[in-house]
Amino acid sequence: MHLLRTQPGGFVPDDSIADLGQTPAELVILCSGDSSLALLAEAARQLPDDYPSLRLANPMQVQNHASVDLYVDEVLRHAKVILISLHGGIGYWRYGVERLMELAARGVQVILVPGDDRPDPELSDLSTVPAAERDRLWQFLRQGGLQNALEMYRCMASRWLDRDYSWTEPQPLPRTAIYHPRLASAQLTDWQADWVAGQPVAALLFYRSHLQAANTGFIDEFCARLQAHGINPLPIAVASLKEPGCFTQVENWLDEAETELILNTTGFAQSSPEAPHLRPFRRNVPVIQAICAQDNEPAWQASEQGLGARDLAMHIALPELDGRIISRPISFKDLAWRSERSQSDVVCYRAQPDRMDFVAQLARRWIELARLPNAEKRVALILANYPTRDGRIGNGVGLDTPAAALNILRAMQAEGYPLAQLPDSGTELIQQLLGGVTNDLDSIDLRPCQQSMASEEYLAAFNELPQENRDAVNARWGAPDSDPMFRSGRMMIAGLRFGLTFVGIQPARGYQVDPSAVYHDPDLVPPHGYLAFYFWLRKAYGAHAVVHVGKHGNLEWLPGKGVGLSRTCWPDAVLGAMPNIYPFIVNDPGEGAQAKRRTQAVIIDHLMPPLTRAETYGPLRSLELLADEFYEAQLLDPRRARELQRDILELVRETHIDRELALGENLDSDADAAL
């Protein structure tokens, strides 16, 4: 076996040697698409017993040099014909292609074709067969379907393996098609006959390759779960949304079906610098990205990151460019069956029912938000509070959050939302909030509370959490009645109602801890008071949507996976499948992405404010002048200094700066130390 060789910039994700355990065969087909391999394995079942021996494999399973060398020595060097369909070009399997070229020089027929519909001369021109023969095999693979796979097998055996099989040219399949689990070929009317009158229609877009490979079990399950949540599904298979013909046909079906929401499982982005889309779809409806993960479910469950680099790029980062709402993984790859003939494991997508339900609930809530008259909508505006001092309520980087919140409330009022008398200014809004409970533990028992949640209601919601979540909260924070927000058998909720609209103060990540240190803590589970706030929003108040105003809150920083959250991840457990709208400063997409990926947020960017010197103002200006004069008087006029000291302490008390600085009794007992 060859020694492991390294190259500058070479990508070796795993330094262990992968052994596929295959024996030699006359025909070896390598495909970097698991759906294509599943189709070829299924077609191999129908081949006659005297068909030449064959092997199927995914080149991504043998990526490092040692693994490639082992596979070449055990399998590839014994083959007569090798066909490889490679995604991404030579660069994704360069060393493997180099070894194939060594075999070609020794007389093995090596045929290289792209793994997608775009020509790749750099790859294809390395083939040892005429271009017409090569392109025919490429089209067999690209058109897909069981019949084309069988014809490809017959063609290859006839052309290069000394068999006498008749075969036909590749038959084109539609680039886009409506799919129905009970029909070989479906029309829109077939689905319309199944739909429940009056229920909304959601289009479900998925790759045509799943249909070609008969890998549609997870699509069937998702359609069933959408129907269980009161949504009429319209599954559409597409080759690529970037193809103008596919896109136009999809648009026409969306219009004809009066689609109210789009669930998209295809990867990447439609828009690009060459073809920007101001609105990727003609219909003005939400587009939710439902993730078909490349990993298996146990690996996802065990991962702190959640999804791997490929899924992060294909199904999250690039779809964000189109403005899609990032949701949850609805399926994972799993072993379907073992193909003894090709000595390969057939992988298919398996449904993840719990995450499918989450996405279906999210879809239903967005649809309800659009259908419901504004006069009946309950919307909660949440103001961040970092650190958890009263003077920091409504802090937002580059945003006058109280004034912005008031602007939002006024705009809602103008659109028919039922709001009561609004404050005259952002300052008045804050003053009204300060009239009730806040996160200030020193005064919480002295302040009235406008809304609360009975401990029985809270415990009922708390007990719906997974056991491990409940255990973590109780272990860290104790029983609910030990929480500072617990009063007289109820959990206090900080905020005010204006008609049906609620303006709340986001709760603290914890208490008796450093609020600055724990704000982004990836391990600190939320206390009971935090959970009660969001449980009250969802269950008692009945919010149809939340608006987290300004960069940034702490919900998106709660413990859990980085992307592709499970039901035990805290942002998921706290907020649930709630539409989340998030005005956020435009120059920090990194932290905005945290909210998009972990709390299904729709980011609405606001511009950066013009910069100027802040200086001091109001009472702070007076305090600054007194302080300057005091320190000068200490050296030149001690009597004057004592008078100034009294003035300073009086001003500090009047403006409540003593509370902000947590001076407490020191202000009276040790004035010199307080100053």
CA distance 444 to 488: 13
511, 441 Cβ separation under 8 angstroms? yes
Query: Does residue 502 sit in helix, strand or coil?
Result: strand
Give the amino acid at 593.
Answer: A
Average pLDDT over residues 170-198: 96
The answer to whether residue 5 scores a pLDDT higher than 70 is: no
Model confidence at 635, pLDDT cuts 50, 70, 90, reads: confident
Torsion, Cα of 55, 56, 62, 65 (10° steps) = 50
φ/ψ of residue 495, rounded to 5: 155, 180
Average pLDDT over residues 317-342: 96
Question: What's the order of all strands across the beta sheet hosting 176-178?
Answer: 176-178, 232-238, 201-207, 261-264, 287-292, 325-339, 344-351
Q: Count CB atoms within 10 A of the CB of residue 577.
A: 21
The neighbouring-strand residues paired with 338 are 345
Task: Quote the pLDDT of residue 212.
Answer: 86
Tokens of 290: 């439902």
Q: Count CB atoms within 10 A of the CB of residue 442.
A: 10
Task: Quote the pLDDT of residue 525.
Answer: 98
The neighbouring-strand residues paired with 289 are 264, 326
Chain centre to alpha carbon of residue 233:
22
User: To which H or E segment does residue 113 belong?
Assistant: strand 109-114
Cα torsion angle, 387, 391, 392, 398, sign: negative
Give the amino acid at 257.
Answer: A
Please write down the HEC assignment for all residues of 445-487. Answer: HHCCCCEEEEHHHHHHHHCCCCHHHHHHHHHHHCCHHHCCCEE
What single DSSP character describes residue 334? E
Average pLDDT over residues 399-406: 97
DSSP 90-125: GGGSHHHHHHHHHHHHTT-EEEEEESSSS--HHHHT
Task: Quote the pLDDT of residue 512.
Answer: 86
Placement of tokens 């003894």 in the chain: 340
Query: 3-17, 292-306, 412-426, 502-516: which range is least confident on average?
Result: 3-17
Model confidence at 662, pLDDT cuts 50, 70, 90, reads: confident
The answer to whether residue 2 scores a pLDDT higher than 80 is: no
Model confidence at 1, pLDDT cuts 50, 70, 90, reads: very low
Task: Quote the pLDDT of residue 3.
Answer: 36
Task: Quote the pLDDT of residue 7.
Answer: 32
φ/ψ of residue 447, rounded to 5: -105, 145
Helix axes 455-462, 528-535, angle to 10 degrees: 90
Give the amino acid at 604.
Answer: I
Tokens of 134: 């090569």
> pLDDT tens-digit profile of 36-45?
999 999 999 9
Mean per-residue pLDDT of the chain = 93
- Pick the more confident residue, 340 or 672: 340
CA distance 434 to 383: 13
CA distance 3 to 439: 63
Q: Count CB atoms within 10 A of the CB of residue 591.
A: 15
DSSP 599-610: S-EEEEEEPPPP
Of the options 1.10.357, 3.30.360, 3.30.110, 3.40.50, the CATH number for the domain spanning 27-160: 3.40.50
User: To which H or E segment does residue 668 belong?
Assistant: helix 666-669
Torsion, Cα of 4, 6, 10, 12 (10° steps) = 30
Please name the CATH architecture into which domain 176-366 falls.
3-Layer(aba) Sandwich (3.40)
Task: Quote the pLDDT of residue 276.
Answer: 56
> pLDDT tens-digit profile of 450-499?
999 999 999 999 999 999 999 999 999 999 999 999 999 999 999 999 99
> pLDDT tens-digit profile of 521-554?
899 999 999 999 999 999 999 999 999 999 999 9
Half-sphere exposure of 204 (CA within 13 A, CB side): 28
Tokens of 499: 């008609």
Model confidence at 11, pLDDT cuts 50, 70, 90, reads: very low
Q: State the distance between the two ends of the chain, measured CA to CA, in whole angstroms.
A: 78
Tokens of 138: 């490429």
> pLDDT tens-digit profile of 128-153?
999 999 999 999 999 988 999 999 99
CA distance 616 to 442: 27
φ/ψ of residue 327, rounded to 5: -115, -115
Angle at 199 between CA 195 and CA 203, to 5 degrees: 70
The answer to whether residue 448 scores a pLDDT higher than 90 is: yes
CA distance 28 to 79: 7
Q: Report the share of the chain in percent with pLDDT over 90.
A: 79
CA distance 306 to 442: 39
The answer to whether residue 671 scores a pLDDT higher than 80 is: no
Domains of the chain, residue spans: 27-160, 176-366, 373-606, 618-674
- Pick the more confident residue, 317 or 276: 317
- Pick the more confident residue, 116 or 197: 197
Exposed (0-12), middle (13-18) or buried (19+): which is 398, by Cβ within 10 Å? middle
DSSP β-ladder status, 580-585 and 495-498 = unpaired
What single DSSP character describes residue 25? -
The answer to whether residue 406 scores a pLDDT higher than 90 is: yes
The answer to whether residue 357 scores a pLDDT higher than 70 is: yes
What single DSSP character describes residue 595? H
40, 149 Cβ separation under 8 angstroms? yes
Question: What's the order of all strands across the beta sheet hosting 109-114?
Answer: 54-57, 27-31, 81-86, 109-114
Same CATH fold, 176-366 and 27-160?
Answer: yes
> pLDDT tens-digit profile of 563-621?
999 999 999 999 999 999 999 999 999 999 999 999 999 999 999 998 888 788 888 89
Query: Does residue 211 sit in helix, strand or coil?
Result: helix
- Pick the more confident residue, 157 or 214: 157
CA distance 131 to 119: 12
Placement of tokens 């390395």 in the chain: 126
The answer to whether residue 189 scores a pLDDT higher than 90 is: yes
Q: For 360-387, give one letter per residue: b (16+ CB within 10 A) or e.
A: bebbbbbbbeeeeeeeebbbbbbbbbbe
Model confidence at 16, pLDDT cuts 50, 70, 90, reads: confident
